């Protein structure tokens, strides 16, 4: 059986799960973590094959990755949780909601609803990023120490890459260069994934996308008619992984979406 995922846990309050995107690690939430732990009991995980998390023994489909996340929640003694996810992590968050394991979800640029030409472009870009980051991996440590270096590393993902932390730059190396199951995850987790059963989601969902996100293009808004009661929020001056572009705004959205879960009159409140 696959092992539980590597994670860190901090804070007190309602349970909140953080799920990073492909090409990063749990370090990508560095900018929002101190703000979230003041309000939530936060579990920040590395997805399979990233950081200290083992790769899966089976195909890393969204379902299989979600299974691994659920095992980790059980190990941590957590039941239903609020979720903040980005990209592939947002897609896994929606799958948790479909399974009834989420109290609420803030899904930033969730993968899964891009059309075939967009998948081709995304796959090509992710493949190139893997190769470039593998070649440049020895330089990431040095580049991460300057705003200019972090801008070079993170410009495709962030609208304000110079404002990121060294932790986020190292996270990109962990997600792109060091990932131990990159190619299978790219294929099974992203390129052939087609979401199903989204109409069974009954918790509050906020869909978020940065207006400077060229990776996910327009796929986030496509979830709106498929997820009952979901809401869409565009973020100005924000990219595909905007956790450090607009940290306070993202924390506010998590708090507001979590509050909706406690309102019985909300049409999308958990049942």
Is 1 contained in some domain? no
| N-terminal to C-terminal alpha carbon distance within the chain | 32
Given this model, what pLDDT does residue 18 score? 98
Whole domain around residue 41: which residue ranges? 7-261
Which residue in 208, 209, 251, 207 sits closest to 31, CA to CA? 251
Is 217 contained in some domain? yes
Token representation of residue 198: 């989204």
Given this model, what pLDDT does residue 271 score? 37
Given this model, what pLDDT does residue 265 score? 58
Given this model, what pLDDT does residue 89 score? 98
Q: How far apart are CA 23 and CA 211, in angstroms?
A: 20
Given this model, what pLDDT does residue 266 score? 59
Is 266 contained in some domain? no
Given this model, what pLDDT does residue 269 score? 43
- CB burial string 195-217: b at 16+ within 10 A, e below: beebeebbbbbbbbbbebbebbb
Which residue in 134, 130, 180, 133 sits closest to 153, CA to CA? 133
Below-50 pLDDT ranges, the chain: 267-271
Given this model, what pLDDT does residue 102 score? 98
DSSP assignment string, the chain: -PPPPPEEEE--SEEEEEEPPTT--GGGGTTTHHHHHTTEEEEEEPPTTSTTPPPPSS---HHHHHHHHHHHHHHTT--SEEEEEETHHHHHHHHHHHTT-EEEEEEES-SS---HHHHHHHHHHHHHHHHHHHHHGGGHHHHTTSHHHHHHHHTTT-SSGGGS-HHHHHHHIIIIIS-TTHHHIIIIIIIS-----GGG--S-EEEEEETT--SSTTTGGGGTTTSTT-EEEEETT--SSTTTTSHHHHHHHHHHHHHHHT-TTSTTS--
Is 252 contained in some domain? yes
With beta carbons less than 8 A apart as the criterion, state whether 162 and 147 touch. Answer: yes
Given this model, what pLDDT does residue 1 score? 64
Is 13 contained in some domain? yes
Beta-carbon contacts of residue 78 (< 8 Å; ≥ 6 apart)? 15, 17, 43
Given this model, what pLDDT does residue 101 score? 98
Given this model, what pLDDT does residue 215 score? 87
Is 12 contained in some domain? yes
Q: Number of folded domains in the chain?
A: 1
Is 2 contained in some domain? no
Q: How far apart are CA 179 and CA 26, in angstroms?
A: 13
Given this model, what pLDDT does residue 45 score? 98
Is 267 contained in some domain? no
Where residue 99 sits, what CATH number does that domain have?
A: 3.40.50.1820
How many other β-carbons are positioned within 10 Å of the β-carbon of residue 267?
A: 10
């Amino acid at each position: 059986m696959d092992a539980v995922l590597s994670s860190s846990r901090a804070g007190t309050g309602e349970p909140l799960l953080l799920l990073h995107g492909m090409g990063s690690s749990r370090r990508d939430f560095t900018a929002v973590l101190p703000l979230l732990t003041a309000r939530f009991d936060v579990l920040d995980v590395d997805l399979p094959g990233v950081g200290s998390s083992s790769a899966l023994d089976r195909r890393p489909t969204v379902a299989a990755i979600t299974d691994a996340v659920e095992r980790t929640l059980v190990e941590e003694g957590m039941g239903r949780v609020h979720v903040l996810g980005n990209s592939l992590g947002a897609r896994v968050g929606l799958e948790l909601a479909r399974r009834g394991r989420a109290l609420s979800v803030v899904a930033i640029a969730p993968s899964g609803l891009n059309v075939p030409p967009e998948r081709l472009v995304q796959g090509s870009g992710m493949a190139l990023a893997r190769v470039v980051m593998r070649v440049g991996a020895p330089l990431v440590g040095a580049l991460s120490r300057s705003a200019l270096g972090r801008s070079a590393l993170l410009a495709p993902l962030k609208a304000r890459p110079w404002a990121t932390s060294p932790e986020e730059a190292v996270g990109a190396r962990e997600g792109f260069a060091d990932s131990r199951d990159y190619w299978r995850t790219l294929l099974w987790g992203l390129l052939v994934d087609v979401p199903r059963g989204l109409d069974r989601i009954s918790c509050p969902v906020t869909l978020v996308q940065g207006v400077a996100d060229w990776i996910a293009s327009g796929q986030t808004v496509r979830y709106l008619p498929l997820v009952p009661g979901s809401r869409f929020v565009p973020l100005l001056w924000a990219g595909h992984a905007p956790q450090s572009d607009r940290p306070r705004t993202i924390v506010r959205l998590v708090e507001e979406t979590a509050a909706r879960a406690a309102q019985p009159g909300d049409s999308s409140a958990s049942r």
